[in-house]
Amino acid sequence: MPERYDVVIAGAGVAGATAAYFLARRGLKTLLVDVKPFERAGDKPCGDAMAKHHFENVGIREPSGEELEGIVKAIDIISPSEEVRYRVAGDGYEVNRVVFTQRLINDAKDAGAEYLDKTQVRKAIIKEGVLRGAILWSRERGEWEVAADVLIDATGMSRAILRSLPDDWPIKDPIDPKDLNVAYREIRKLRAEIEEPEVLRIYLSPSKAPGGYWWFFPYSLKEGVVNVGLGVQGGMGYPLPRNLLYEKILIRPEFSDSAIIESGGAAVPTRRPLDTLVWNGIAAIGDAAYTVNPVHGGGKGTAMISAKCVAEAIAAAGGNVDNASLWGANKCYMEAYGAKQASLDFLRMFLQRMSEEDLEWVMRKRVVDAEDINIMATSGDLEEKIVARALRLMMAAIRRPAFMSRLKALSDYMKEIKNHYLRYPETPEGLREWALKRDKIYEEFKARVL
Ligand SMILES: Cc1cc2nc3c(=O)[nH]c(=O)nc-3n(C[C@H](O)[C@H](O)[C@H](O)COP(=O)(O)OP(=O)(O)OC[C@H]3O[C@@H](n4cnc5c(N)ncnc54)[C@H](O)[C@@H]3O)c2cc1C
C-alpha cells in the first residue's frame, strides 16, 4: 500500500513551504517535496525584494539575521531621462532567498510536515477524473507512488503538475508568452560605496528594457553589493535581457571593475490570476497559479497569500476535496489580492505600450505622483484624481488628447475588472459564465484602450 497523505505539495519554494506550514499547523498530514537539495532551497534568480506588509498580512515571521541581505526604506521610480525620480516610501527587505526559504521549510517541519528534498513529483495520479495521489522519483529510490487527497502544484513557472492535466480543466490554463516577463539579473560587488543603500531603484525605459524595466536593488547589509537586473516582455521578439543588461546598463561607470557574485535568468508570469486555484483535488499556488504582481513582477509575498488561502480552505473543508468544498480558496485569494492583480494587469498592458516620450512626459508633468503610485500599488485603483489632473493638464497645455482619453478609459476599465473579480462566483457552477464575461471585458479593454 502506498503511503497516504492528506496533502502532497510539489515544490518547496516560498509558496510550497508556506502552504506546508499552514496545513501542518492545522493537523493535516502533509508531504512537501522539492527536486532541489535543502542547501539550495529557494535558489532561483530573483530581485529578492519583499514588502514588510506581506509578512504582517499572512502571519509569517519577518526575516531577520542571516535571512536578510538588506533593509528597504523606499523605492525610487526613475524616468527614461533619469531626470525625474519619484520616491515611494515603504518598509521591506532584501532577503537571502536560500536562508529565508530554508527557514520556511524548517517552520513547516516543526509544525509537523514531512519534507523530501532531491525528489521530483513526476505527475498526478488521476482515475476517473479524481485525484488519487502522485508519482515521485529520486535518484536513490527510483519511482514510487504516494496516495493523497490533494496535490498542490507549487513548482513555479515549470507548472510540472498542471501542464499535463486535461485541457478542459480550468486550472491548467497555459500562459500566453506575451504575459510573461523574461528577466536576467546579476549580483555584483561594486568598487564604490552605494549611496542610499536602503533605497531600491526601478528605471523605466522602453528603449533599454522594452515592456519591462531595469532595477538596481542594493543589499544594504553587504557594503557595495547590488542585485541588478532587467526584464523584457515575452513573445515580442525583443533582445535577450542578458544582452540588454550588458549592452545598455553594465557599461555605466558605477559598474566598472565590479565583480560578479552570481548570475541567472528566469521568466515571471505577469498577468491576471488563474480562474481557479482548485480543481478535482489539484490546487495551484505561487508562480504556478500566476499570482505575481503584473506591474512590478514581485511574486514572493503574493505566493504566500495564495498558499495561505489554499491551505486554510483545505483545512476548513474537513476532508472533502470536491470543487465546491475547496472553493473558499478562490474567494479568499480574489478578495485578498486577485481582484487588484487583474486591475494591475490592465495597467501593465497600458504601460507596455507607452512610448519613452509619453512616460517621460507623464512623470515630468507629475500626471501620476509618488503618492498615486503608492495608492495604486496598495489598491489596484487608478484614482479619479489622476485622471482629473491629467485632463487639467491637457486643457492647459492642449497636448496629447488621445493619450488622455486612453488614460481615462484605462481608469474606468481598471475599476470594472476589479469589481468583476470581486464578484467572483460563489460556487464552481458560476465559473464559466463569470469567465466569459471577464473575457468580454478584456476584449473591450484591448480594443478601446490599447
Ligand atoms: C529575475 C527575477 C527577479 C524577481 N524579483 C523579484 C523580487 O524582487 N521580489 C519578489 O517578490 N519576486 C521577484 N520575482 C518573482 C519571484 O521570484 C517568484 O514569484 C517566486 O519565487 C515564486 O515562488 P514559488 O514558490 O511560486 O516558485 P519557485 O520559487 O519557482 O519555486 C518552485 C520550486 O519547485 C521546485 N520544483 C519544480 N519542479 C518540481 C517537481 N517536478 N518536483 C518537485 N519540485 C519541483 C523547484 O525546485 C523550486 O524550488 C523575480 C523573478 C525573477 C525571475
pTM: 0.96
Distance, in Å, from the CA atom of 340 to the CA atom of 345, rounded to the nearest integer, reads 9
Atom of ligand 1 nearest to the CA of 285: 26
Judge if 23 and 107 occupy the same domain: yes
237 C-beta neighbours (distance < 10 Å), count: 8
The binding-site residues of ligand 1, defined as CB within 6 angstroms of any ligand atom, are: 10-16, 33-36, 44-50, 120-121, 154-156, 158, 160, 183, 185, 229, 266, 268, 286-287, 292, 297-301, 303
Averaged pLDDT, 70-96? 95
- pLDDT over 60 (residue 271): yes
Strand order, beta sheet including 85-95: 49-51, 85-95, 68-78, 199-203, 213-218, 225-233, 180-189, 259-269
At residue 73, the 3 state secondary structure works out as strand
Q: Please state the atom number of ligand 1 nearest to the C-alpha of residue 301.
A: 11
Q: Which atom of ligand 1 is nearest to the CA of 181?
A: 53
Q: Number of folded domains in the chain?
A: 3
Query: Using an 8 Å Cβ cutoff, are 337 and 302 in contact?
Result: yes
The CA 128 to ligand 1 mean position distance, Å, reads 32
Q: Structural domain of residue 8, as residue ranges? A: 3-48+97-175+271-326
Q: What is the pLDDT of residue 373?
A: 76
Is the model's pLDDT at 397 over the cut of 60? no
Q: Label residue 144 by pLDDT band (50, 70, 90).
A: very high
Report residue 432 as a C-alpha cell: 464559466
* CB-based contact 278:327 (threshold 8 Å): yes
Query: Residue 215's domain is classified under what CATH number?
Result: 3.30.9.10
In this predicted model, what pLDDT tens digit does every residue of 2-49 receive, in sequence order? 999 999 999 999 999 999 999 999 999 999 999 999 999 999 999 999
The verdict on residue 237 lying in a domain is: yes
Residue 152 lies in a domain: yes
Largest alpha-carbon pair distance within the chain?
77
Tell whether 21 and 121 lie within a shared domain: yes
pLDDT of residue 394: 60
Residues 283 and 429 both lie in one domain: no
For residues 162 and 287, membership in a common domain is answered with: yes
Q: Residue 365: which pLDDT band, with cuts at 50, 70 and 90?
A: confident
Ligand 1, atom 52, lies closest to the CA of 46
Indicate if the pLDDT at residue 430 is higher than 80. yes
Is 70 exceeded by the pLDDT of residue 54? yes
Which residues, listed in sequence order, are joined to residue 259 by a DSSP beta bridge?
189
Provide the percentage of residues in the chain whose pLDDT is more than 90: 88
Residue 61 lies in a domain: no
3-state secondary structure of 324: helix
Burial 29-65, CB ≥16 within 10 A → b, else e: bbbbbbbbebeebbebbbbbbbbbebbeebebeebee
Residues 256, 154 contacting (CB under 8 angstroms): no
Å from CA of 160 to ligand 1 middle = 13
Task: Out of 9, 31, 34, give the residue to mutate to test ligand 1, the one with the largest number of ligand atoms within 8 Å of its CB.
Answer: 34
CA-nearest residue for atom 15, ligand 1, is 299
390 has a pLDDT exceeding 80: no
How far is the C-alpha of 122 from the C-alpha of 187, rounded, in Å?
Answer: 32
> Is 90 exceeded by the pLDDT of residue 363?
no
Provide the terminal-to-terminal Cα distance of the chain, rounded to the nearest Å.
Answer: 56
Residue type, 132: R
Is pLDDT above 60 for 398?
no
Pairing of strands 282-284, 142-153: parallel
